[in-house]
Structure 1
Amino acid sequence: MQVRRISAEERLSHSFPLQAYAFEGSPAPAATADRWRDRLPYNEGNRTLVAEDGDTVLAAVTAIPMRQNVRGQLLPMAGIAGVVTHPLARRQGHVRKLLTALLGEMRDEGHPVSALYPFRPSFYARFGYAALPKRRTATFSPGDLGDLVRADLPGDVVWERMGAGYGAYREFTLRLARERHGFAVFPDFRDARLRDDDERWLVTARVDDQVVGAAAYKVTGYDGELLVDDLLVTTPLSRMLLLRFLARHVDQVSRVVAGIPAYELPELWGTDFQVTVEARTVIPSGNAPMARVLSMEALAGIQTGPGRLTVEVVDDPFLKGSFTLDGRGGTLEVSSAGGAAGATLSAAGLSALVYGVLDPEELPLRGLGAVPADAAGELRALFPRLVPHVVADF
C-alpha cells in the first residue's frame, strides 16, 4: 500500500468517485463527471491523501485550510472532510493511517487546531477530537413576530441575492471569526462557491452603513418554510432587524426554521412567542462537530484565566509530553516542563478544556484524564467554560 498526496486533477479519478459513493445516491449518472470538474476550483487549495494498491484507490482523506477563533485568537485550522474508503477495503486501518499522516502534515505547516463533522464520534474521539455543541434550530411562525412589523427601529435591512451581496457577507463573517470563539471560516477559494452558486437570498441588517447582522436563506415554496442557514447577529438591535424582516413573510410561509448558536435563547425573543428550539444528533449524517488541538506551543496567546498548572498529555503523536500552562497574565504561556505533572490528560481531554466544552472534573468520568481536585481548580481558572459557535459545515 502506498500513501501519497494527489494533484487537483487527480481528484476526478481518485477521491471524488469514492466521496460520491459514500455520501450520495448511486450509481451516479454519466453527467456526474462534469459536476465533479465544476467543483475542482473550490478544492484547489485542499490537501488530499490517498492510499493505493496498484491502480486501486483504497481510501482518501482531505484537509481544508480554514481559520477558527480559539479563545480570541484566529488560528489556522485543518477542516477534515471527504474521509472515505473503498467498499472492499473498509475496516482495514487505511483511514487511520491516512488521517494520522494528514494531521501531521497540516500541523507541521502551521495548523495548530483541527475540526470536522464525524460520521461516528467515537471513531474520531480516538484521534483526540472532542465534541462541540451542535448548532440549534429555532422554528416559529412569522405571525408570532407581528408586533415587530410596526416597530420603529434605528437601522435598516438590505435584501438581495447572495451573488450580489456576497462581498458584504464575506466581510461580515470574517469579522465574526475574529471576534467569536469557535467561529470558523473557509478559505477564499472554497467560500466563493456560495457566491458562484447564487442559490440563496441574503438579508443584512445595517446600522450607520455597517453590517451588524446577516441571514442567508431559501424559501421552499408558497405556504412552505423559510430556511435560514444561520441567524448571525451581533447586537439585540441586529437580531430585531432581521426578525422584523422575517415577520413580513407571514402570508407567504407557514414557518421559519433558523439556525442559531447553542447559547441563543429564542424563547426570550418576544412576548407570546411560540418557538421550538432543537438540536438533534443522528449517526451517521447529523452529528455535532468535533475539534482537537494539534500543537500545544501554538496555543500561546489565547485568552485564559489566572491559573497555572503543569500537565502531561499522553497517548497522542502530536501533543505527547509535559507542559506548564500559565494564564496569570491574561493570555496563555506554554513551556515544556520536566518533573511531576499536576494532571494527566488525553488529547481529547485537553481539547475539550481549550474549546471550553467540559469542566475539568468531567474528564476522569469520561476517561479523558486523571485530574486531582486541586488541579481541577487551576484548570478551571485557566480554561473557563465557553460555548463555541461553529457554523461552517464541511
Structure 2
Amino acid sequence: MTIRRVTADDRLTTSFPLAAYAFESSPLGAARVGQFRDYLPYNEGNTTLTVEEDGVTLAAASAIPMRQNLRGVVLPMAGVASVATHPLARRQGHVRTLLHQLLDEMRDEGHLLSALYPFRSSFYARFGYVGLPKPRTVTFTPADLAPLLRTDLPGEVGWERIGAGYPLWRTFTEQCLRQRHGFSVFPDYRAVGLRDRDEHWLLTAQVDGEVTGAIVYRIDEHGGTLHGNELLVTDPLARMLLLQFFARHVDQVERVSVQVPPDELPELWLTDLDVHVEARVGRPASSAPMARFLSLDALHGLPAGAGRVRVELTGDRWLAGTHLLDGTSGTLEVVADASGRTPTATLTAAGLSALAYGVLDVSELPLRGLGEVPADAAAELRGIFGRAVPYLFADF
C-alpha cells in the first residue's frame, strides 16, 4: 500500500471516479464519465493524495488552497474536499492515514486553518475539527414583497448573466472576505467554474456606483421557484434593493428561496412577511461545516480583548505544548513555554478552535470534552475571545 500525490490526468482514473461514486448518482453513464476531463482545470492547484495497492485506488482526499477571515484577519486555509474510499476498502483506516498526511503537507505549506463539510461530524471531531453554524435557507413568496414596489429606494440594481458579470461578483466576494468573520473564498482557478458554466443570473445592489450587495440565482420553471445562492449584503439598503427586484417576479414564480448567513433574521425583514427559515443538519447529505487550527501562528496578531492566560494543548497531532495567550494590548500575542502564576486552562485543538471561531462559550468546553478550564482561566479566555458568529461562505 502506497500514498501518492496525483496531478492532472491522473485524477481521471483515481480520485475523480471515487468521488463520483461517493457523492453522485451511481453508476455513472458514459456521458458523465466523459465530463471528468472538463473538471481538470478547476482542480489544478489542489493537493490530492491517494492510497493505492496493486494498482487499485483505495481512497482519495484533496485540499483546496483557500483564504478565510478569522476575526478580521485573512489567513491561508486548507479546504478539505472529495474525501472518498473504494466501497470494498472502507473502514480500514485509509482516510485517517490520508488526512494525517494531507494536513501535514498543508500545514508545512503555510495553511494555518482548515475547514470542511463532513460526511459524519463525529469522525472529523477526532481530527480536532469543531462545528460552525450552517447558513440558513429562507423561502417566501414574492407577493409578500409587494410593499417594496411602492418604496423609492436610493441606489439601483444591476442584472446580467454571471458569465459576463463574474469580475464584479469576484471583486465583491473579495470585499466580503476582508470584512466578515469566517468568510472564505476559493482560489481563482476553482472559482471561475461559476463563470464558465454560466448557468446563473447575477443581481447586484449598487449605491453611488459601489456594489453593496449581490446574489447569483436561477429560475427552475414558470410558476416554480427562484433559487438564489448566498444573499450577500453589506447593509440593510442593499438587502431591500435585492428583495425589491424579487418582488417584480410575482407573476412569474410561486416562491423565492435564498441562502443567508447564520446571524441573519429574515423574520424581521418586512412586516407581514410569511417566511420559512431552515437550517437542516443531518448525515450524510446535510452537514454543517467544521473548522480547526493547523498552527498557533493563526492567533498571532488577531484583534483580542483584555485577557492573559496559559493554555496547555493536549491530544492533537498539530497543536501541542503550553503557550501564553496575551490580549492585553488589544492584539493577541502567543508565547511558547510560558511559565509563572498566570491562570492555566487545558484545551484540545477543537476547544481552542471553538473559542477562536467564537462558536462556544468557555463553560461549554468541559461539557463537550474539549478542555478543563478553572474559573480564573475562564474569565481570561472570555476576555480574549468574545462570542462571534462565523459565516463560512464557500460551498464545498
| Map 1:99-110 → 2, pairs under 5 A | 99-110=99-110
Q: Partner of 1:176 in structure 2?
A: 176
| 1:8 lines up with 2:40 in the alignment | no
1:361 matched to 2:360? The reply is no
Deviation at 1:201, TM superposition (A): 0.8
Aligned to 2:351: 349
Secondary structure of 2:369 counterpart: coil
Secondary structure of 1:301's aligned partner = coil
Is contact 1:114-1:294 (8 Å) kept? yes
SS at the partner of 2:42?
helix
**CA–CA distance in 2 between the matches of 1:222 and 1:306?**
56
What residue number does 1:76 align with?
76
CA distance in 2, matches of 1:251, 1:328: 58
- The aligned residue for residue 186 of structure 1 is 186
3-state DSSP class of the match of 2:192? helix
Cα distance in structure 2, aligned partners of 1:229 and 1:32: 24
Amino acid at match of 2:344: G
CA distance in 1, matches of 2:77, 2:233: 24
Could you tell me which amino acid in structure 2 is paired with residue 41 of structure 1? P
Alignment of 1:202-217 (within 5 A): 202-217=202-217
Paired residues of 1:310 and 1:337 also in contact (CA < 8 A): no
State the one-letter code of the partner of 1:380.
Answer: R
Aligned to 1:291: 291
1:342-375 residue CA offsets vs partner (Å, 9 max, x unmatched): 1110111111111000001100000000011111
Quick one: distance in 1 between partners of 2:281 and 2:296?
30
Return the match for 2:393 from 373, 391, 394: 391
* Percent identity between the two aligned chains: 62
Structure-1 separation of matches of 2:333 and 2:21: 46
Q: How does 1:211-230 map to 2 (within 5 A)?
A: 211-230=211-230
Matches of 2:255 and 2:98 in 1, distance apart? 44
Residue in 2 that maps onto 1:199 = 199
Letter paired with 2:358: G
Q: Are the equivalent residues in 2 in contact too, given 1:112–1:299 (CA < 8 A)? A: no
When structure 1 is superposed on structure 2, of 167-176 and 374-383 the one drifting more is 374-383
Contact 1:63 1:81 in 2 (8 A): yes
Q: For residues 33 and 215 of structure 1, what CA distance do their matches in structure 2 show?
A: 31
Q: State the Cα distance separating 1:297 from its structure 2 match.
A: 2.2
Q: Aligned partner of 1:349: which letter?
A: G
Total equivalences in the alignment = 394
Q: Which amino acid aligns with 1:115?
A: A
Contact 1:297/1:335 (<8 A) preserved: no
Alpha-carbon displacement from aligned partner over 1:94-150 (angstroms, at most 9, x marks no partner): 100110110011011110000000000000000000000000011111111101112
Which of 366, 376, 379 does residue 378 from structure 2 map onto?
376
Query: Aligned partners of 1:250 and 1:142: how far apart in 2?
Result: 5
> Aligned AA for 2:170?
R
1:98 aligns with 2:76: no
Could you tell me which runs of 5 or more consecutive residues in structure 2 were left unpaired when the two chains were aligned: none
Q: Which amino acid aligns with 1:64?
A: I
Deviation at 1:298, TM superposition (A): 3.2
Alpha-carbon deviations, 1:44-80, whole Å to 9, x = none? Answer: 0000011111201111110000000001110010000
Task: Please state how far the C-alpha of 1:178 moved relative to its aligned partner.
Answer: 0.7
Cross-structure match for 2:122: 122
Q: How does 1:11-160 map to 2 (within 5 A)?
A: 11-160=11-160
Distance in structure 2 (CA, Å) of the matches to 1:74 and 1:205: 25
Q: TM-score, normalised by structure 2?
A: 0.98
Could you tell me which runs of 5 or more consecutive residues in structure 1 were left unpaired when the two chains were aligned: none
- Secondary structure in 2 aligned to 1:252? coil
Does residue 267 of structure 1 match 2:267?
yes
**Conservation of the 8 A alpha-carbon contact between 1:5 and 1:47:** yes
Query: What one-letter code is carried by the residue in structure 2 that aligns with 1:282?
Result: G
C-alpha RMSD of matched pairs (Å): 1.0
Q: Distance in 2 between matches of 1:225 and 1:359?
A: 39
- 1:307-355, Cα deviation, whole Å (9 max, x unpaired): 1111011011110111111111222111102447711101111111110
In 2, the alpha carbon distance for the partners of 1:233 and 1:392 equals 15
Instruction: Name 1:235's counterpart in structure 2.
Output: 235
SS at match of 1:160: strand
- AA of the residue aligned to 1:312: E
Distance 2:377 2:284 in 1: 36
Give me the whole-angstrom Cα distance separating, in 1, the residues matched to 2:364 and 2:169: 39
Contact 1:356 1:388 in 2 (8 A): yes
Question: How far apart in 2 are the matches of 1:198 and 1:308?
Answer: 51
Q: Which one-letter code corresponds to 2:147 in the other structure?
A: D
Counterpart CA distance in 2 for 1:54 and 1:324 is: 49
**One-letter identity of the residue aligned with 2:289:** P
1:175 is displaced (CA, Å) by 0.5
Q: Given the alignment of the two structures, is residue 280 of structure 1 paired with residue 280 of structure 2, yes or no?
A: yes
Name the residue aligned to 1:322: 322
Distance in 2 (alpha carbons) for counterparts of 1:310 and 1:338: 7
Contact 1:137/1:277 (<8 A) preserved: yes
Amino acid at match of 2:297: E
Separation (CA, whole Å) in 1 of partners of 2:339 and 2:307: 19
